[in-house]
Structure 1
Amino acid sequence: MTEKVNNIKVLKPNISDDLCIFNLSQDNISDYDSISTALVKDCLLENHEAEKVSFKETLFKNVIFKNVSFRYCDLEDVRFENCDLSNVDFIDSSIHRVEFINCKIVGINLSEATIRNVVFSECGGQYALFRYANCKQVIFTNCQLRFSDFQESKFSKVEFKDTDMTQCQMFGIKLKAMDFTSCEIEGMGARIEDVYGAIVSPAQAISLSRLLGIVIKE
């Protein structure tokens, strides 16, 4: 199913109404495991590491991930609702048709991940890492992304709406035609060529004028 979120069309997760409850624990999730058509809820996964795990057509509700690493993970048709994914390591993962709804993603590591048709809504994601990620049709709406790092990521049809991006690092990303007028971008790190053609408010333009070395005197 396709849904238009803000100005970008994203494919929603295809999740069945008939899901089997899956007890996520250290004992039943290991390298290369594949979990599908599952409902995972009201649980804690702590101090665990597994590589190349696949989650497909899975709904996570009220799940806490503490000190968890899922490198090279495959997430497809997945929704996280009211989950705590703080500091979860998803380096070099494949994330397709996924929604993060009202989740805590402080310090989440999505560096080098391939991210397609993904929505982050009402998420607290300070210090999140997206370095070298490949993002296409990705929406951030009503999120806290202060001090997050997107350096050298590839953006195609990415949108930030009503999101706090204070001191986000955006070096090496072409931001042309991206509309930041509803966001807080004070202290955003970028180069002159990165912000060329970006859509900003007059106040934001004054903030970004520091990239030109201009001193504005009142």
Structure 2
Amino acid sequence: MTNKKKSLKIELPKIPTGLSNIEIPEFGVQSNDYFNMGIIADCSMDNQNANKVSFEKIIFQNVTFTQTSLKDLELTDVIFEKCDLSNADFSDSTLHRTEFRNCKIVGLDFTTATLRNVLFHSCFGDYATFRFANLRQVDFQGCSLCKADFYNSTLQKVYLNSSNIDQAQFSGTKLEGIDISDCRFTGLGVEVEDLRGCIISREQASLFANIFGLVIKE
């Protein structure tokens, strides 16, 4: 039987080859700035504070964004490679065809963000926040999402492939059709009604029984 979980097709970033390096202005990013068609590499964008910034057809390589606030950010056809976005604030943002590859996204804030065709590959995302966010066609592959917060979010065609979701918060989030059968966890923040239609393994069924205080009779 084909494992449909592995067949998710998301639209990849549409980025032309031969992009040139571009630099962030010395005075930093300003609200309503627009950057497109380039590579931003080996630099720091830490402690920036701006709203409604747009990046289109951009590759970030080894860039740090720690403690940066870019609320209402728009990312279209963007790739982050080996970047550190720890505790960055991307709340209210919109992401289209965006990839995060081998990035550190600890505490990254996507509250009320909209994510479409987004890939997180081998990312360290403990404590990342997706509260009230809307995710569709989003694939987490081999990520650590311990204590990540998906409270009251909307998940459609969201895949959690071989990821660690231990103690992640899903209360108020409908998990119907979401396959967590190969995820690792010892506990989750979730309500019984939210689990209706969620795809789990046999081993996880026993774990959920323990979480909700059920007794399985042999």
TM-score (norm 2): 0.93
Count how many residue pairs are aligned between Structure 1 and Structure 2: 215
**Identity of aligned pairs, percent?**
41
C-alpha change, 1:23 and 1:136, in structure 2 (3 Å) is same
CA distance in 2 between counterparts of 1:107 and 1:73 reads 17
Distance apart, 1:213 and its partner CA: 3.0
1:11 paired residue number: 11
1:186, 1:204 within 8 Å by CA — same for their partners in 2? no
2:28, 2:48 within 8 Å by CA — same for their partners in 1? no
Deviates more, 1:74-83 or 1:189-198: 189-198
The two structures, once aligned, show a CA RMSD in angstroms of 1.8
C-alpha change, 1:211 and 1:26, in structure 2 (3 Å) is farther
Distance apart, 1:28 and its partner CA: 4.3
1:115 paired residue number: 115
Query: Gapped runs of 5+ residues in structure 1?
Result: none
CA distance in 2 between counterparts of 1:142 and 1:15 reads 24
Deviates more, 1:53-62 or 1:17-26: 17-26
2:65 paired residue number: 65
Distance apart, 1:67 and its partner CA: 1.5
Matched, 1:49 2:49: yes
| Partner SS, residue 118 of structure 1 | strand
2:75 paired residue number: 75
1:152 paired residue number: 152
Distance apart, 1:23 and its partner CA: 1.4
1:191, 1:211 within 8 Å by CA — same for their partners in 2? no
CA distance in 1 between counterparts of 2:100 and 2:80 reads 5
Paired AA for residue 154 in structure 2: K
1:134 paired residue number: 134
2:86 paired residue number: 86
1:38 paired residue number: 38
| Structure with the larger strand share | 1
Deviates more, 1:163-172 or 1:183-192: 183-192
Paired AA for residue 74 in structure 2: D
CA distance in 2 between counterparts of 1:14 and 1:119 reads 14
Deviates more, 1:202-211 or 1:7-16: 202-211
Query: Gapped runs of 5+ residues in structure 2?
Result: none
TM-score (norm 1): 0.93
1:26, 1:48 within 8 Å by CA — same for their partners in 2? no
Paired AA for residue 154 in structure 1: T
Report Cα offsets for 1:85-139 as digits up to 9, x if no partner.
Answer: 1111000000010000000000000010000000000000000000000000000
| Partner SS, residue 205 of structure 1 | helix
